[in-house]
Structures are given as C-alpha cells and as structure tokens.
Amino acid sequence: MKLIACIKQVPDTTEVKVDPKTHTLIRDGVPSILNPYDQFAIEECVRIRDQIGDCSVSVLTMGPPQARSALMRCLALGADEAILISDKAFAGSDTWATAYTLSLAIKKIGFFDIVFCGQQAIDGDTAQVGPELAQQLGIPQVTYVEKIEIDNKNKLTINKQTEDGYQILEAKLPLLLTLLPPTSFQPEHPPMSSILKAKRKPFNIWDVETLGGDKSRFGLDGSFTQVIKTYTPPKRGECELIEDNPKEAAKKLSKILCKNEALTKR
Amino acid sequence: MVDYRFTEEQELFRESMKEFCASEIVPKTEKLTEVRRMPKEIIKALAKFELLGLIIDPEYGGLGTDVITAGIAAEELARADPSCSIPVLFLVGTSWGHVIDKYGTEEAKKEILPKAINGEQIIGIATTESDIGSDLGSMKTKISKKGDKYIINGEKMYISGVAEAMEYGGGHVTLAKMTPDKGTRGMCLFYLPLKDTKGITPTYVEDIGREAISCGGFDINNVEIPKHYLLGEENKGFYCVHEGYELARGLIALVCAGAASKALENGIAYIKERKAFGRHIGKYEGIQFKLAENHVRIQALRELGYKALWTYDQEIQGKASRFDVSMAIAMAKSVASIWASEAINDVMQWQGAFGYTKECEDQKAWRAVRSFTLAEGSTEIMKLIIARELLGKEFLAYR
C-alpha cells in the first residue's frame, strides 16, 4: 500500500504580525514550522503504515528550498521518503495552481492508495488545496477527518467531524482525506535517533522540468486568485464575559440584551 | 571563513528539544523546587526522549552524537527549568557517562551505561571532600588493592545526586588516592555504586538553589568494589577525571547562557509593559544600556560555550590538543556564571520589589547560576588554566 502526505511549511502564526502600512505579513525573524494540521496528517499516515505493514509513506511539499526542514521533520516523524517540489516557476501559486502542481507530482510517483492533507494551513486558512487536489486527481475525498481505521481488506472507516458530532463513513481506495486533529491531539517531538535516521532516508527535489505538465498552469500565471491585502480586522467594541451558573447567566444575558434593545420584553 | 551554522540535525534537534521542554518540563517546574530530589518521572521523561545517552557509543545504547548536540540540550533545558536542577542532572550524567564510555572496562560499560541511558539509574561525580575542593592533590580518600577487588575509605561532600543514587540506584565516578606520595599522579578513578552498598553512609545539605536535585555527601567505610569498576589505569585517574570536568564545564557555559537568555526575554516582556513616570520603563536609557550590555555578554557566552564544545569534538576527532580544549573550556566557564548572574540580577532589578520575591521566576535562575562559580571547577581555577596556557607551565603558582 502507498500513502502520500502533502504538507506545508508555514510561518509560526503565533509570532506573525501584519504590517499596518503595507498590509503584508511581517515574516522577518519569524520561525517557520510544519503546519500543525499536517503534523497530525503525517502522524496518522505513519500510524496506519505501522498498523498494516507492507506499506510506505511519501511526503511532499511545494515550496522554496528552506521548506526542506519541514520535510526533514516529517521524515523524523516516520515518513519513508520526501519530495520537495521547488522552482521559481511555482512562485505566486494560489490554491488551484498549487493543487495542480501537487497532482502532477503525485501522478509522477505513480501508484497510491490514500492522499493525506492537513485540513488547512495556518497561514492562509483556505482549506482549499486538499479538495482541489482530489478534483485534479479525479478521486473521492473526505474532509474534516479525525480518525481512520483500516481493516485487512483495505476498507476504511472514517470519523468525520461535523458541527453536531461525527459522521462514520466507509470508503474504498483510492481517496484523499483532509485531517483535522481532535483537541486532545499531542504532537510528537521526534527524538535524536529519529532525526539521525531521517538523514539517511531518500530526499528528492523536483523542478518544473521534472514535473512536466502545462507550464501556463503553474505559479502566478496559473492562479485564478491574487491576494490584494492582508489586514487585522478592527476591534468591534468591548467583550463582556458572563460567569455564573447557566440559569443566572441566562438571566444576566437577557437583561443586557434588553438593555441594549436587542430583545424586547413581552 | 568561519561557518557559524548548526548542522541540519542539530537544528531539528533544537526544535524538538523546545517542544519537549514546553510539553514535558515547563509545566512541572513550579512543583519541582519543592522536593530536593529529582522526581523519577522527570528522569524517565529525559530517558524516553533519549537525552541520557546522547553522546554515548550506540553499542551501549547511546546515540553517538557530537558534543555540540549535548550543548543544545543543556541550553534548552536551562531555558525551561529556571532552577537548573534538570540541566545539572543532564550535564553530570552526560559528562561522567562519557568518561565511563571512554575509560571503563567492557564489563563496566555493559553493566552501567544502558541502565543510566534508560533512566533506571543515575551517574554522578564525587571528587570534593569537606575541606578539599580545587586542591585535589590533598585529597584524603584512599583506595587500595586487595586481590581482585579495591577497598576504599574516606568521604565525599558537596556532591550532586546522592539521594537519587541512594534511592533510585546508580553511583558516582569517584577519585581517591592509591599512592599518596605521588600526589595527583597517584590517584585512581573508579565507579562507586551507592545504593545498597555496604559501608556507604549518606549525609545531606541544602543548596540555596537547584532545589530539585539533592546535594550531600557520603562516608566511605571499607567499601569493596570489583576491579572492573576502575576507570582508566591505576594512578592515572587525575588525568581521566579532567576530561569529564572539561565537558561538564563546557555544558555549564551553555546552561548559564540558556538560563540568562530566558531571563532576558522575561525582562524584555516586562519592561515593554511596565510603566513608570508616564512611560514604559523600556524607554529609559538606564534600562536599555543594561539590556544591550547583557545581551552582548550572553551572546558572547553562547559563542564561547559552543566554541568550547566544538573544540572538545575536534579533540575527539584528533584535530585539537588537550591544551586547546582546556583553554577554550576555561575561557567559557570563567565568565559563564558571573555574566549570567549579573544579567539575571538586572532583570530582577527591573521588576522592582516583585523581583525580590519568591513569586519571581528569575530569582530561581539567579540562585542556580550562582552555583557555577564553584561547581565543576571554580572561576579562579578557570583563570589559572587560562594563565597557564598563556604563560607556560613553569609559571604555575602551585607547583
């Protein structure tokens, strides 16, 4: 069985601020990290591989040369091989152009059973690349996946998070999953032995020539959308927190709503 | 041209260390200082994250990394544990585990190292006596040979990790005289297990800092050890022991740098928030000048510390001499505690009366780094080593 995980290196958004004049992210001095949703995806990939045996995990990302460190982390977390898709031609890609590029890389890998993506990246928060990649690959997809079980006949049972709870779904292969970790998720921190092993695993760099494909669909040229402005929304009034037992809290809330004419007394 | 970059593995390791510390160490540090014992769960957590055998030969369960990697661990542990108790446990185990790895018999290495690496037992160092510190040549503890065993009599004092070794298991790399008239050329280095060893009687003292690791001593009354516990050759222990001390001193430089850099970060956050006389105190030059001076010193200390460990690695590879190592290590250690404690002291001063309370986290670090003007070789001895290398051995004061 072949599992593929698509990951992204992102700026640590707990450290990022927006420049109020240029409306761009201030990235100087901000550390880059593996997108936390993708860390969950990788850990699930490795868990399933170890469970079923006779299976390998390839991890890939599209990004600048510095994205190597995010892939190395994935190798240290247990992935078997890494592929960095890197070329100036890919610069400025929106989610659609990114999905197209990733789909070419996956087709070049050849055979696969499941593609894992994080639900979204913490820098853009679009949650579009996974579904668009499934579209480009022509395979089914399940989003908001929290848990996956696979039986000995390769039948998947998937817990998909919904607003009300879970949907329990069954699926056949191949398919694409976008993963959303449960709140209880504790990311692993690879120890030094895993880091040393990672250095000995295959690491490939593929450029635009290696991928082939329609060059007009890469990068800025292949993008339907462009980011015009990034900004922090202005503060909208003060927040008042009501702390009490539910009955008293409801009373206080209704009083405040009446006072502000959001509710009227009958 | 000098390349100051860490290797890719070292960078990944630091990232992992930070995460490990954030999830496994930081949440536990508040309770740590109440115990005067390193909790077993902390030792097990360090072992599980493979920190206790970083530089040890893989044949005995270690990872065989370079020494700089151990420096990264020491620095990050000190940033996470302001009492520096965990860094002390780490640096002592690493340094004296290395000495056992290098000078121990095959039998001893197989017996001691795997247990220390998996956190079942600890490794400590015991050379100091009640009235003998830097002047090791005047040591009173004696070792003699009896058939295929050695007999030891004497005492050791101001030793870290005595309670942990007595209770959890493990022992201390110990120095004693075999041929008294030969001074430092008549000493033996050996491994002395403490738990359940007949003839060992522990005593305890309370350090003013480093509260989560025990400090004490032990009387050694006709204690027998098997001959395979000898480290190196008979009468050459003084030279072997210094290889452990030098590694420990280099790691201490980075412990001090880590503790002080964390305190400076705390200080920066504070002076950007605290207002006095209508403005943030970070706007006053009196604060800014201190901040800048301390930042430069701590960065310089960090460079000295990593340079020292790099030199140690070079010596292991046969590319540097022991004298190069002694000089680089002594330079780093000679300023480590002083610069770090002055920086942390300034951070406490910025916080006003709060800085002098036990609520202030930085005071723990201040009390901890103060110990390193003494531990593993005093500041004064470091200066003598530097002067010896500059002037030549004929200028040694105590010869």
Give me the residues of B, 35-94, that contact A with CB < 8 A.
49-50, 54, 63, 65, 69
Strand, helix or coil for residue B377: coil
From B63's Cα to the closest Cα of chain A, the distance in A is: 7
Q: How confident is the model at residue A191 (pLDDT cuts 50, 70, 90)?
A: very high
pLDDT at residue A17, as a whole number: 75
Percentage above 70 pLDDT, chain B: 99
Give me the helix-helix angle, B379-391 and B322-350, nearest 10°: 140
From B24's Cα to the closest Cα of chain A, the distance in A is: 11
* Rounded Cα distance, B315 and B51, in Å: 23
Residue of B nearest to A197 (CA): B9
Q: What is the ipTM of this complex?
A: 0.91
* Rounded Cα distance, B28 and B42, in Å: 9
Average pLDDT over residues A38-48: 97
Give tens-digit pLDDT for A223-261: 999 888 777 777 787 888 898 999 999 999 998 888 888
Least confident of A189-193, B140-144, B181-185, B309-313: B181-185
Contact at CB, A191 and B23, closer than 8 angstroms? no
The domain limits of chain B are 8-122, 123-231, 237-395
pLDDT at residue A230, as a whole number: 77
Q: Where would I find the H helices in chain B?
A: 8-20, 29-32, 40-48, 67-80, 85-103, 106-117, 162-167, 237-273, 285-316, 322-350, 361-370, 379-391
Q: Which residues of A fall within a CB distance of 8 Å from B69?
A: 192
Place of tokens 């092993």: A197
Q: How confident is the model at residue A21 (pLDDT cuts 50, 70, 90)?
A: confident
How many CB pairs below 8 A link A and B?
Answer: 43
Topology at the third CATH level for domain B123-231: Butyryl-CoA Dehydrogenase, subunit A; domain 2 (2.40.110)
A187 inside 8 A of chain B by CB: yes
For residue B283, the 8-state DSSP code is G
* Rounded Cα distance, A4 and A137, in Å: 13
Q: Where would I find the H helices in B178-284?
A: 237-273
Q: Where in chain A is the domain with CATH 3.40.50.620?
A: 2-217
Give tens-digit pLDDT for B198-237: 999 999 999 999 999 999 999 999 999 999 999 999 999 9
Residue of A nearest to B11 (CA): A69
Give me the residues of A, 60-89, that contact B with CB < 8 A.
68-69, 72-73, 76
pLDDT at residue B58, as a whole number: 98
Residue of B nearest to A189 (CA): B16
Least confident of B1-5, B212-216, B306-310: B1-5
Residues B93, B164 contacting (CB under 8 angstroms): no
> Please, what CATH class does the domain formed by B8-122 belong to?
mainly alpha
pLDDT over 70 (residue A265): no
**Domain A2-217, CATH:** 3.40.50.620
Give tens-digit pLDDT for A137-188: 999 999 999 999 998 778 899 999 999 999 999 998 999 999 999 999 999 9
Burial class for B44, CB neighbours closer than 10 Å (0-12, 13-18, 19+):
middle
pLDDT over 90 (residue B240): yes
B106 inside 8 A of chain A by CB: no
- CATH superfamily entry for domain B237-395: Butyryl-CoA Dehydrogenase, subunit A, domain 3 (1.20.140.10)
Q: Which residues of B fall within a CB distance of 8 Å from A69?
A: 8, 11-12
**How far from B378 is each of B135, B245, B323, B368, B384, CA to CA, in Å?**
11, 11, 18, 15, 10
Query: Which of A192, A194, A199, A201 to mutate to test binding with chain B, by most B CBs within 10 Å of its CB?
Result: A192
B5 inside 8 A of chain A by CB: no
Q: How confident is the model at residue B274 (pLDDT cuts 50, 70, 90)?
A: very high
